Structure 1
Amino acid sequence: MTRWMPHATVATVIHDDGYFLLTEEMSEGRQVLNQPAGHIEFGESLIAAAYRETLEETGWEVNITHYQGLYINTSPSGITYHRHCFIGTPIKAQPDATLDEGIIGPRWLTWNDLLNAEQQQQLRSPMVIPCYRDFRDGKQFPLDIIWNFDQGDR
């Protein structure tokens, strides 16, 4: 019997005065835009992973304020991703931050910029626009909706 193992990831919607923080990166030989996102490391909480991935992919320290939701997508290669999306605000840029391999740098975009990037097929994942659309629709949950027994919650 084959055991199904989805990939657990985090992503963030970081917003400030009508702009969203994204990352510009190389993926499969092309330049794309994505939410700050990545895999959760062993022993790491979801929220800690969201902070870390945002810093590693944008060079920005952020304040994670809400859990937005779980987005599930199976890629053409057959890998299923469970993306836990968080909402946050920027604190400050870290100009000396070491960005992950393949990351070009941070990009601040408006909603219209995001829609244009979608039309131009510049987004890395089909999960990007739904996350931002849900943010615009006010979908959010308090962080204490997450119970992390390994971290001593409750």
Structure 2
Amino acid sequence: MAGTDRFRPSVTVAAVIARGDRYLLVEEDTPEGLMLNNPAGHLELGESPIEAVVREALEETMRAFTPEAFLGVYLARFVRPARLEDVTYVRLAFSGAVGEEIAGRTLDEGIQRTLWMSETELAACVDRHRSPLVLQCVRDHASGRRLPLDTVFAHPSLTQPWIKD
């Protein structure tokens, strides 16, 4: 690749949570308006993908999330119209279960509410999806895709402080 620019995709995690035939989603404020998403967010420095998805699900749903399986690695490109920002997302999706809402917790900033929707209901409103990966992850879960959690390996060096010479 010519030049000094490196491709730097944005790494995110997502929780795909089902109860019967309904999926837990969040409705969130975005620069593009009020959109639907799986509970999801960015991987932060020093945390494993599993730690990140547990944290994001709690912040966005007020519910403790227990990952049970890895769904896969998903990529999508998004150009934000307002800023002409071009971002490629690498999403690590996990399926699992949640408990009831935890008393005293509040939804993360920007999250308006949580809601349960069927795959059919979700497919009927793709124009409101934060990403094309929202429905794809739900469809993969509904089809039975499950990979072992240890498919995602996080080396202990992730939590080591970085020492500059």
- Aligned partner (choices 132, 136, 143) of residue 137 of structure 1: 143
Aligned residues: 150
One-letter amino acid matched to 2:35: V
Establish whether residue 65 from structure 1 lines up as the match of residue 68 from structure 2.
yes
Partner secondary structure for residue 48 of structure 1: helix
**Cα displacement string for residues 85-117 of structure 1 (whole angstroms, at most 9, x for unaligned residues):** 000112221132232211102111112211122
Aligned to 1:20: 23
Tell me how far 1:29 sits from its aligned partner. 5.1
One-letter amino acid matched to 1:87: S
TM-score w.r.t. length of structure 1: 0.91
Aligned to 2:5: 2
Partner secondary structure for residue 21 of structure 1: strand
**Cα displacement string for residues 39-77 of structure 1 (whole angstroms, at most 9, x for unaligned residues):** 011100100100110111111112110000000111123
Structure 1 stretches lacking a partner, 5+ long: none
Question: In structure 1, what is the Cα distance between the partners aligned to 2:129 and 2:78?
Answer: 14
Please, what is the CA RMSD of the aligned residues? 1.5
Establish whether residue 88 from structure 1 lines up as the match of residue 96 from structure 2.
yes
Partner secondary structure for residue 106 of structure 1: strand
One-letter amino acid matched to 1:83: R
- Aligned partner (choices 125, 148, 154) of residue 154 of structure 2: 148
Question: In structure 1, what is the Cα distance between the partners aligned to 2:71 and 2:34?
Answer: 27
TM-score w.r.t. length of structure 2: 0.86
Question: In structure 1, what is the Cα distance between the partners aligned to 2:130 and 2:32?
Answer: 12
Shifted more, 96-105 versus 37-46: the winner is 96-105
Percent of counterpart pairs with the same letter? 37
Structure with higher Rg: it is 2
Structure 2 stretches lacking a partner, 5+ long: 80-84, 159-165
Partner secondary structure for residue 93 of structure 1: coil
Aligned to 2:117: 109
Tell me how far 1:18 sits from its aligned partner. 1.5
